[in-house]
Amino acid sequence: MILYILKRLLHAVPTVIGVTFISFLIIKSAPGDYLDQLRMNPQISADTIERLKRIYGFDEPLLIQYLKWLKSAIFFDLGYSFQYHAPVTQIILERIPNTLLLSVTSALLSWIIAVPLGIFAAFKENTFIDRAIRIFSYTFMSLPSFFLAFLLLWFSAETGLFPTGGVRSPEYDQFNFFGKIIDIILHLAVPALTLALVSLAGLTRLVRSAVIEVLESPMMIMLKAKGVSQRVILKHVIKNAMNPFATLLGYEIASLISGAALIEIIVGWPGMGMLMLDAVLSQDLFLVMGGLYIGTIMLILGNLFADIMLSYIDPRVREREVMS
């Protein structure tokens, strides 16, 4: 297993370099840069602009700029944000907890509900319950996430059940410990429900399909013919239907930072999505690169987690990878 993990990590190195280099080229190819905003300020002299270019290395060849950035990024020194006037690492560390709170909460909600719901629908195939679950899935799969977010925002504004925008209320510091937790949960409700409902719909259908496929396999037919209890059948079904969902779980981990970006922007949740949008609009090079770098690492770790789970469930996967 250790050899397998090391091999996967070695494969990740060119991925990080490739993604960050292409991103760096695209950002630098865009017309203008952050210093253009300073050039429009008559109070800032041309000498000051030139000095800033030398400080940030913008006067050097493109490849040298990238290599210097990459050398620092290896040690998570991601540069200095022009817009926020603070180290990029510090800014990202301030925003990542909000995004992780939203993403992890919505992922847990969707998986906790979707797995038993999909299994239940599969065991009740073609019954009224199965049809009702499928209608539920089709409905929320057909709704774009941004439209669902707008609907939930409208509902919250009309009923006043949930606050809209932000992570905490202005009077947050005055609450006791449990009051603070409830306040955060109420602010989390709209974005988390939006992400969970969209993910839940598709995941339920996938679970249902995988379980039905296992139930119709020769092994399950044999177990039913022998009169094996429903509990034993359920145990075998879950184990044999697990492989595709190990990969899906890996993708969930990979998208913890990037997956909620659009919803964060719509509902005003101050996470990485809002941060990256502001960084792109203001052409804050180092902040954009820092966000992409962290997102790429999360993608690699998520895929690695999925591969480890698959190799644990099916040792043939591990043996095939090590031998190749």
Whichever domain contains 118, its CATH number is 1.10.3720.10
pLDDT at 318: 55
Same domain, 59 and 21: yes
Q: Which of the four pLDDT bands, split at 50, 70 and 90, describes residue 206? A: confident
Same domain, 11 and 99: no
Same domain, 274 and 221: yes
Q: Is there a domain that residue 319 lies in?
A: no
Same domain, 82 and 149: no
Q: Which of the four pLDDT bands, split at 50, 70 and 90, describes residue 299? A: confident
CB 106 within 8 A of CB 192: yes
Q: Which of the four pLDDT bands, split at 50, 70 and 90, describes residue 50? A: confident
Which alpha helices (DSSP H) does the chain contain, by range?
A: 2-29, 34-39, 46-56, 62-74, 88-123, 128-142, 145-159, 177-215, 218-225, 230-240, 243-254, 261-267, 272-281, 285-313, 315-323
Q: Which of the four pLDDT bands, split at 50, 70 and 90, describes residue 317? A: low
Q: Is there a domain that residue 324 lies in?
A: no
Q: Is there a domain that residue 196 lies in?
A: yes
Residue 248, domain extent: 92-314
pLDDT at 256: 65
Same domain, 84 and 114: no
- Round to whole Å and give the CA distance between 242 and 309: 10
pLDDT at 321: 54
Average pLDDT for 81-105: 88
- Round to whole Å and give the CA distance between 64 and 69: 9
pLDDT at 83: 81
Q: Find, among 259, 266, 256, the residue nearest to 149 by Cα.
A: 266
Same domain, 183 and 246: yes
CA angle 207, 209, 212 (to 5 degrees): 105
Token pair of 251 as six digits: 């993708």
- Distance between first and last Cα of the chain: 14
**132, pLDDT greater than 80:** yes
- Round to whole Å and give the CA distance between 34 and 284: 6
Same domain, 104 and 130: yes
Average pLDDT for 14-29: 86
CB 49 within 8 A of CB 39: yes
Q: Is there a domain that residue 323 lies in?
A: no
Average pLDDT for 160-170: 82
Q: Which of the four pLDDT bands, split at 50, 70 and 90, describes residue 246? A: low
- Round to whole Å and give the CA distance between 57 and 63: 11
pLDDT at 1: 64
Domain boundary among 70, 88, 106: 88
Q: Is there a domain that residue 308 lies in?
A: yes
Taking only the tens place, the pLDDT of each residue in 51-83 is 878 887 787 888 888 998 899 888 888 888 888
Same domain, 172 and 253: yes
Same domain, 55 and 185: no
Structurally, how many domains does the chain consist of? 2
Q: 323 or 189: whose pLDDT is higher?
A: 189
Same domain, 138 and 243: yes
**138, pLDDT greater than 70:** yes
SS3 80: strand
Average pLDDT for 286-305: 83
Determine the length of the chain.
324
- Evaluated on CA atoms 209, 214, 215, 217, the torsion sign reads positive
Q: Is there a domain that residue 217 lies in?
A: yes
CB 95 within 8 A of CB 275: yes
Percent of the chain with pLDDT over 70: 88
Cβ-based burial of 161 (10 A; exposed 0-12, middle 13-18, buried ≥19): exposed
Domain boundary among 36, 53, 88: 88
Same domain, 78 and 109: no
Domain boundary among 68, 88, 108: 88
Q: Is there a domain that residue 322 lies in?
A: no
Same domain, 105 and 8: no
